[in-house]
Amino acid sequence: MNINKNWHQKHSDNLSWGSRIADAVAKGMGSWSFIIIQTVFVFIWMGLNLVAYSKHWDPYPFILLNLLFSTQAAYAAPIIMMAQNRQNERDRIQAQEDYTTNKEAKLEIEALAKKLNSIDVEKLDKIIRILENKQ
C-alpha cells in the first residue's frame, strides 16, 4: 500500500462496488447532460405519440411516461441519498484532517516563535555585552 496517499485516495480505495455505482449514478443524474438528454427524450416521446397515425403506444396524458418518471424517481432518490451520505462522511474526514493539520501547524509556529524569541534575546545579550565592553 502506498504511504503517500492522501485521505481522499484512501477513502476512494475503500469504497464498495455498490458505493461506486451509486456515486456514478448520482454524478450522472446531477449533470446538464442528463437533463438535456432526458428533455430530448421526453419531447421525442410526446411528439411521436401526438403525431403517430397508426398506433399511439402512450396517448395523451402520457400515463406510461409518467410511470417511467415515477419509477426513475423511486430508484434515483435513495441512490442519490447514498451518495450524499458518503459525501457527508468525506466532509467529516476532511474536516478532521484539516483540524489535525492546523493543530500541527500551530505547534510548529509556536516552536518557531520561541526559537525567534530566543535568538532575539541572544542578540540583545551580545549587544549589551559589546556596549558594556566599550565603556
3-state secondary structure the chain: CCCCCCHHHHHHHCCCHHHHHHHHHHHHHCCHHHHHHHHHHHHHHHHHHHHCCCCCCCCCCCHHHHHHHHHHHHHHHHHHHHHHHHHHHHHHHHHHHHHHHHHHHHHHHHHHHHHHHHHHHHHHHHHHHHHHHHC
Measured in whole angstroms, the distance separating CA 67 from the mean position of its chain's CA atoms is 32
Domain count within the chain: 1
For the whole prediction, is pTM greater than 0.95?
no
> Does residue 67 lie within any of the structural domains?
yes
> Does residue 100 lie within any of the structural domains?
yes
> Does residue 84 lie within any of the structural domains?
yes
> Does residue 4 lie within any of the structural domains?
no
Residue 45 belongs to what domain range? 15-134
Residues 29, 25: Cα–Cα separation, whole Å: 6
> Does residue 110 lie within any of the structural domains?
yes
> Does residue 38 lie within any of the structural domains?
yes
Find the helix or strand (DSSP H, E) in which 21 lies.
helix 17-29
> Does residue 54 lie within any of the structural domains?
yes
pLDDT tens digits in sequence order for the chain, 135 residues long = 456 677 667 767 778 888 888 888 888 988 999 999 999 999 999 988 888 766 778 888 899 999 999 999 999 999 989 888 888 988 998 899 999 999 999 999 999 999 988 888 888 888 888 888 876
From the DSSP assignment, how many helices (H) and strands (E) are in the chain?
Answer: 4, 0
Apex 30 CA angle, 74 and 94, nearest 5: 105
Which residue has cell 500541527? 104
> Does residue 122 lie within any of the structural domains?
yes
Question: Which residues have C-beta within 8 Å of that of residue 84, sequence separation ≥ 6?
Answer: 26
